[in-house]
Chains A and B, each alone.
Chain A
Amino acid sequence: MSTATLVKTSYREAVRAAIREAMKRDNRVFLMGEDVGEYGGCYAVSMGLLEEFGPERIRDTPLSESAFVGAGIGAALGGMRPIVEVMTVNFSLLALDQILNTAATLLHMSGGQFNVPIVIRMATGAGRQLAAQHSHSLEGWYAHIPGIKVLAPGTVEDARGMLWPALQDPDPVLIFENAALYNMEAEMPGEFKDFDISKAKIRRAGSDLSLISYGGSLGKTLAAAEELAKVGISAEVLDLRSLRPLDTETIMDSVRRTNRAVIVDEGWRTGSLAAEVMASIMEQAFYDLDAPVGRVCSEEVPIPYAKHMEEAAIPQIPKIVAAAKEVLNAHV
């Protein structure tokens, strides 16, 4: 990737730039969903794209998740490369049958006859005081399903770079954009080449323990590592990026060096993605561990509305710091 021209870009602008680029590179690509056209998307991601590409490629659809996700699957079968925007993961449940029973199974159940090259993007996560039915983090739940791939861009760079390779993928790909990240800014290069979406990435190197996170919790985890550094603890921060498939190789490489790990996941604890990562470490790196693996997840309650309640229910920097100290037996 070229670093010659760096431009300050928000996560939102990065997703928009990725959509624009994909539309220009491949005329089979189109965007469909509720309010993506004239309104510019409920998170303002597609602002201006209707004017640039017209209503056939930036398609406002009827208010029906099962209809437009199902239609996206049909369009993919018909030779198109749809990007379907579902407003949030909460409402994707109205299209769950289409995603799980159709998109995820069709290639296998047809004996390899029908690929479904669809990309479904949606916002996820809490933190905007919209109460439980707008605040679920179900990406780990989707990561349970064979047949789909699940991506969670936690940086502006990934928001910009993940879409094109996802569209090149012959399998259905779900991209979860944590809504708390849309205003995050970073310096970005103008061009992307050979962007790998299958690998986890070390976002901060460290030697005392591995903090493993993704998506909306990544920034908090990096901030927690910064605080830990102040008290002399060197935390490595690993960004999973792909939740299905999981890059267990990079996870184990890190854990085998640091011998301790804490998973940070905005999903609910029981049966969570964090639980899966912990189980993988137990299976593959048990004898390298110096302490039980810890985790910081959301409290197992529907996310409350009020700000102080909502903040307390999901992973925050002090909780991550405390969990790190716990596995280091360094708590006071």
Chain B
Amino acid sequence: MIADTQNFKPFNPDPIAVLSQSGDWIAPFALTLDDETLKTIYKHMLAARLLDERFIKLQRSGKMSFVAPHSGHEAPQVAAAHAISKGTDWLFPYYRDYAMTLALGQSVLEILAQTTGSRLDTAKARQMPMHPGSKTLNIFTGASAIASHIPPAVGTAISMKIRETGQAVLTSFGDGATSEGDFHAAINYAGAKGAPIVFLCENNRLAISVDFNKQTGSETIAIKAKAYGMPGYLVDGMDVLACYYVLKECVENARAGLGPSLVEAQVMRFGAHSSADDDTVYRSKEELELMRQRDPILRMRRFLEKQGLWSDKAEEKFIKETQLAFQTALDTLAEAEKVPLEWMFDDVYAELLPHLAQQKKEFLG
């Protein structure tokens, strides 16, 4: 369902944008965000980009096993974090969503700790990188089987509706995930129940190497919402403010009892799928160059500069501070004690069962 007061109408043929490439406000409604929030949104995108670059360096120097670069996906991710209510709403992200969890408030130390196997890792050295999870921030621990986090996301949303808690869920996934049975099964169930959930598809048109045209016969992902009985919105995923306004409206509708929505953010993946593949095999440098001209960070920066909210000096200062924060976290982690081996036996069950206690004893000799 949609509300009369909405800025956006579903099943729009062209992607919704509120900023032009040159950074001008082009929406038919007035900007409502204050200067500080606008700057924070930009800083979150920039910090996420720098984090991505740091991840790649860490992976190439053998300090982390796996990276799924999120560069090019920052806009919908940061927008999602700003659209939901921190610590109240729930987030069920996928494995390319560190810009989202960083913007929601996951600390750099906590994010980097998951690469180190140290005692500072909240996942206790059991979860691979790129799979964030936080009970305090209501972030469901990332799932590796594609789309398998979507049915639990819907279940959490249905329980919110039944208990009338006024909360909402946001779950994100790539375009490849929409070919999985779990995506269909879960979104169908959400539609049948009118669950308070926003489905965010970060469509970069590549599932590792497989092109969107081989993934589906459908023109867009957003249009699929029609069949599930909910509104679908197509958004310019390189325009962070467009992503914010659309997602915000969807989250508010979910909370108001108007049911679920599907948002397709058309993004571009600047990096490879992950550290396990070489994207030059399936796309050209020229293609990538064209994509980078549409960088969501550049567009938002142009907008801020035109508003007099940002400058080269501010940029330089923020980059320096962020890099320092990364280095400080990495230094702390370098000194942190490793997780002791016997910790692997904990949390298999809520308490240590006799057979595991025995195996632990034998393990320790």
Please give the residue numbers on chain A whose beta carbons come within 8 Å of chain B beta carbons, in ascending order.
Answer: 56, 61-62, 64, 66-80, 82, 97-98, 101-102, 106-115, 146-147, 149, 169-171, 245-246, 248-249
Chain B min CB distance to A133 (Å)? 18
Provide 18 A-B residue pairs closer than 8 Å at the C-beta atoms, listed in order of the A residue. A66-B148, A67-B186, A67-B188, A68-B189, A70-B152, A70-B185, A71-B155, A73-B151, A74-B152, A79-B159, A97-B145, A98-B148, A98-B152, A102-B149, A111-B122, A111-B126, A147-B349, A248-B355
B209 interfacial by beta-carbon distance below 8 Å: no
Chain B min CB distance to A165 (Å)? 13
Q: A61-B189, A107-B350, A246-B355 are in contact. Are A56 and B162 (CB under 8 A)?
A: yes
Cα of A145 to Cα of B202 in the assembled complex, Å: 33
B138-152 vs A, Cβ < 8 Å mask (1 yes, 0 no): 001101110011111
Contacts of B149 in A (CB 8 A): 102
Residue contact B156 to A77, C-beta cutoff 8 Å: yes
| Known contacts A70-B182, A149-B349, then 15 further A-B pairs from the complex at CB < 8 Å, ordered by chain A residue | A66-B148, A66-B182, A67-B182, A72-B155, A77-B155, A78-B155, A106-B141, A110-B133, A111-B123, A111-B127, A112-B124, A114-B135, A146-B348, A146-B356, A249-B354
Contacts of A69 in B (CB 8 A): 151
Contacts of A70 in B (CB 8 A): 148, 150-152, 154-155, 182, 185-186
Cα of A56 to Cα of B161 in the assembled complex, Å: 10
Contacts of B264 in A (CB 8 A): none
Residue contact B135 to A74, C-beta cutoff 8 Å: no
Contacts of A77 in B (CB 8 A): 90, 140, 152, 155-156
Which of the residues B124, B162, B163 comes within 8 Å of A111, measured between beta carbons? B124
B320-355 vs A, Cβ < 8 Å mask (1 yes, 0 no): 000000000000000000000000001111100111
Residue contact A73 to B155, C-beta cutoff 8 Å: yes
Q: Which interface residue of B90, B150, B156 has the most chain A CB atoms within 10 A?
A: B156
B105 interfacial by beta-carbon distance below 8 Å: no
Chain A min CB distance to B245 (Å)? 27
- Chain B residue with minimal CB distance to A68? B189
Residue contact A67 to B148, C-beta cutoff 8 Å: no
- In this complex, how many residues of chain B approach chain A with their Cβ under 8 Å: the count is 47
Residue contact A101 to B143, C-beta cutoff 8 Å: yes
Residue contact A74 to B154, C-beta cutoff 8 Å: yes
Chain A min CB distance to B163 (Å)? 7
- Chain B residue with minimal CB distance to A70? B151
- Chain A residue with minimal CB distance to B131? A109
B160 interfacial by beta-carbon distance below 8 Å: yes
Residue contact B181 to A108, C-beta cutoff 8 Å: no
Cα of A73 to Cα of B150 in the assembled complex, Å: 11
Residue contact B355 to A109, C-beta cutoff 8 Å: no
Cα of A65 to Cα of B121 in the assembled complex, Å: 34
Residue contact A66 to B141, C-beta cutoff 8 Å: no
Cα of A146 to Cα of B344 in the assembled complex, Å: 12
Contacts of B131 in A (CB 8 A): 109
Residue contact B349 to A66, C-beta cutoff 8 Å: no
Contacts of B353 in A (CB 8 A): 245
- Chain A residue with minimal CB distance to B350? A170
B256 interfacial by beta-carbon distance below 8 Å: no
- Chain B residue with minimal CB distance to A69? B151
Residue contact B355 to A115, C-beta cutoff 8 Å: no
Q: Which interface residue of B133, B185, B192 has the most chain A CB atoms within 10 A?
A: B185
Residue contact A102 to B148, C-beta cutoff 8 Å: yes
Cα of A249 to Cα of B357 in the assembled complex, Å: 14
- Chain B residue with minimal CB distance to A146? B348
Contacts of B159 in A (CB 8 A): 74-75, 78-80
Q: Which interface residue of A78, A101, A113 has the most chain B CB atoms within 10 A?
A: A78
Cα of A248 to Cα of B127 in the assembled complex, Å: 31
Contacts of B150 in A (CB 8 A): 70
Cα of A112 to Cα of B348 in the assembled complex, Å: 8
Contacts of A78 in B (CB 8 A): 90, 155-156, 159-160, 163
Q: Which interface residue of B133, B144, B192, B349 has the most chain A CB atoms within 10 A?
A: B349
Cα of A245 to Cα of B122 in the assembled complex, Å: 27
Residue contact B158 to A75, C-beta cutoff 8 Å: yes
Residue contact B189 to A109, C-beta cutoff 8 Å: no
Contacts of B348 in A (CB 8 A): 107-108, 146-147
B134 interfacial by beta-carbon distance below 8 Å: yes
Cα of A106 to Cα of B156 in the assembled complex, Å: 15
Residue contact A112 to B346, C-beta cutoff 8 Å: yes
Residue contact B160 to A62, C-beta cutoff 8 Å: no
B130 interfacial by beta-carbon distance below 8 Å: no
Residue contact B354 to A62, C-beta cutoff 8 Å: no
The 9 closest A-B pairs by CB, nearest first: A70-B151, A74-B155, A71-B155, A67-B185, A74-B152, A78-B159, A74-B156, A64-B185, A170-B350
Residue contact A114 to B350, C-beta cutoff 8 Å: no
- Chain A residue with minimal CB distance to B339? A111
Cα of A113 to Cα of B347 in the assembled complex, Å: 9
